[in-house]
Amino acid sequence: MKIPPAFQFFPRDWLTSRSVSVMTPAQRGYYINLLSHAWLAEKPGTLPNDHEILWKLAGAISRREFEKESDLVLAQFRVNKGGKTLSNSRLIQERQAQIRRKSNFVESGRLGASARWHNGLSGDAIKSPLANYGSAFASASATAKDQSQKPRGTPSRVASPRSEREQRRIVEARETRLEKEAEARREAYVGSGPIAYGGVRPEILDRVREIAKAKKL
């Protein structure tokens, strides 16, 4: 399991801890260094019970200097069974709390996904929302292949009727517009005389409209 990069630090707990408050600045430095190394250990919360290693992990100048002030620091760790390692109970508790929070997040995400995918999909689809992507892609690819094998210029079954309807709509709209224009010209001719449209008579305009309609059809 990947080691979390950080642990929660509670300033109030640190400042109000009797054990910490009686430490010297050097001891506090040793303590926080050892906690950090214990957190990053292969087995989180533990340290080797070896002063030759501990003084270096604590960041002391020498083993002798470390051992002068190590009693209060090492009192925060207990010797594990076998005597080869030390552990800090609070650090282990924080690690377990992180595991629980992560588990809760995962469960919340799973329940959220289940709610979103509650539309008849199987449990496998909930665990893997893209489970059916492959079959859908294969179906789409097969359809595209069928279309590509048709001779060029072959109309689509769906596009052809739609195109014909569109053409009829355009022709009908053009006929309506021409009829309205002819009607407007007749009204202008009656109201203003032949001068309004260069002396063109209404019957000639009607004939022009009929010819134009025949050409469009």
Domain ranges of the chain: 11-94, 164-216
* Gyration radius (Cα) of the chain, Å: 43
Determine the pLDDT at residue 28.
95
Determine the pLDDT at residue 8.
76
Tokens 């303590």 label which residue? 31
Determine the pLDDT at residue 63.
94
Measured distance CA(128)–CA(133) in Å, rounded: 10
The domain 11-94 having CATH identifier 3.40.720: the answer here is no
Instruction: Give 3-state DSSP helix, strand, coil % of the chain, rounded to 5.
Output: 70, 5, 30
Per-residue confidence in pLDDT tens, the chain, 217 aa: 566 777 778 789 889 999 999 999 999 999 999 999 998 888 888 999 999 999 999 999 999 999 999 999 999 999 999 999 999 988 888 888 877 877 777 767 766 776 666 665 555 555 555 545 455 555 555 565 655 565 555 555 554 556 777 877 887 887 788 777 777 766 655 544 444 444 555 666 677 677 777 766 5
In our burial notation (b when 16+ CB lie closer than 10 A, e otherwise), range 105-138 reads: eeeeeeeeeeeeeeeeeeeeebeeeeeeeeeeee
What DSSP string runs through 13-43?
A: HHHH-HHHHTS-HHHHHHHHHHHHHHHTSSS
Determine the pLDDT at residue 194.
44
At 74, phi and psi to the nearest 5?
-70, -15
Measured distance CA(122)–CA(132) in Å, rounded: 11
pTM value surpassing 0.95:
no
pLDDT digits (tens, 9 = 90+) for 141-175: 556 565 556 555 555 555 455 677 787 788 788 77
